[in-house]
Amino acid sequence: MEQKFHPFIPRQHMLSSRYEVYHYRDARLDDVAVHHHDFYEVYFFLSGNVDYTIEGRNYHLLPGDLLLIGPMELHQPHITQERQPYERIVLWMRRGYLESLSTPQASLSRCFDTSRPEHKNLLRLRQTQRQDIAALMEKLLAETGGDKYASELLADATLVSLLVEINRIAAGSVESHEVRDKSSAVIADVLAYINDHYNEELSLDGLASRFFVSKYHLSHEFNRLVGTSVYRYIIQKRLVIARQMLSNGLPPTDVYQHCGFGDYANFYRAFKAEYHISPKEYLNCAARGE
């Protein structure tokens, strides 16, 4: 059977209320900016030359690698163009949908839980595991949107099987596969500080002074390892938290103060520029479950 591929669209929001799955294969692809989204992502890497950054942690991908990316995690692929095409299967899932498929004894989102000490973003699969995951991904692609008898039901069952298998693999994973260099430790400390103090005044000068490095060195290494500037990362981290708080029903006038924005006007401009919707409009959409 001829393999069908989806055309890549750089969209970072879901259209479905349940899940979306895509099989991409690109000969060339423009750079993808650091971004985040409010759903779970499973990324099954098939071919190409790709490094991936997730919250400042860097990974060099091998065919068959599986990435697990949670709703609050900033991430970015770094793609080296070559003769071999960049191929991957990407699965997006709404949090509410995943909860509806879970049970009190078995949460299907467990493998995405960054608070667990054993959590890993990258799972390097053994051959049999790769074959099992590939078969389930292909079955999910075939049944999603299908018109055969009970396609939707079978797609849901396949998705549950896939996530159970991923959670079992994640529970037995011990290696992180993170690529480190001499600057990794300092940048990791800076990221941890930003994540803990996002609601306070933060600047490149202040961070450089706190961690006893020159601001020029910090700026260069941060860009190299994280894929964006210190300033941009701080803004995105604040927006991640703000979006989550709005989703939980908190009013924008409370949210901007908690998230470290100097005033509401700055918060409004940053939120509108990132999401193309105002904080109040986003709050109303969240209240309607959109």
| In a domain? residue 257 | yes
Counting the structural domains of the chain, the total is 2
| In a domain? residue 214 | yes
* Residue 88 confidence (pLDDT): 96
The answer on 158 and 96 residing in a single domain is yes
| In a domain? residue 80 | yes
The answer on 95 and 130 residing in a single domain is yes
Q: Final residue of a domain: which of 114, 139, 171?
A: 171
What CA–CA distance (Å, rounded) separates 2 from 196? 49
* Residue 1 confidence (pLDDT): 42
**Structure pTM?**
0.85
* Residue 271 confidence (pLDDT): 94
| In a domain? residue 64 | yes
What is the rounded radius of gyration, in angstroms, for the C-alpha atoms of the chain? 20
Q: Final residue of a domain: which of 122, 148, 171?
A: 171
First-to-last alpha carbon distance for the chain, in angstroms, is: 37
Q: What angle do CA 152, 143, 102 make, to 5 degrees?
A: 55
* Residue 2 confidence (pLDDT): 52
| In a domain? residue 12 | no
What CA–CA distance (Å, rounded) separates 190 from 10? 29
Q: Which amino acid is at 46?
A: L
In our burial notation (b when 16+ CB lie closer than 10 A, e otherwise), range 84-120 reads ebbbbbbbbbbeebbeebeeeeebbbebbeeeeeebb
The HSE-up count of residue 30 (CA atoms within 13 Å, CB side) is 4
The answer on 255 and 189 residing in a single domain is yes
| In a domain? residue 11 | no
* Residue 80 confidence (pLDDT): 86
Instruction: Supply the CATH number for residue 119's domain.
Output: 2.60.120.280
* Residue 290 confidence (pLDDT): 64
What CA–CA distance (Å, rounded) separates 107 from 100? 10
What CA–CA distance (Å, rounded) separates 228 from 194? 14
| In a domain? residue 7 | no
Q: How far is CA 263 from CA 241, 245, 282, in A?
A: 16, 17, 18
The tens-digit pLDDT sequence of the chain (290 residues) is 456 889 888 788 888 999 999 999 998 887 788 888 889 999 999 999 999 999 888 999 999 999 999 988 999 998 887 778 999 999 999 999 999 999 999 999 999 999 888 899 999 999 999 999 999 999 999 999 999 999 999 999 999 999 999 999 999 888 888 887 778 889 989 998 999 999 999 999 999 999 999 999 999 999 888 888 999 999 999 999 999 899 889 999 999 999 999 899 999 999 999 888 999 999 988 777 66
Structural domain harbouring 251 = 184-287
Considering all CA atoms of the chain, what is the largest pairwise distance in Å, rounded to the nearest integer? 64
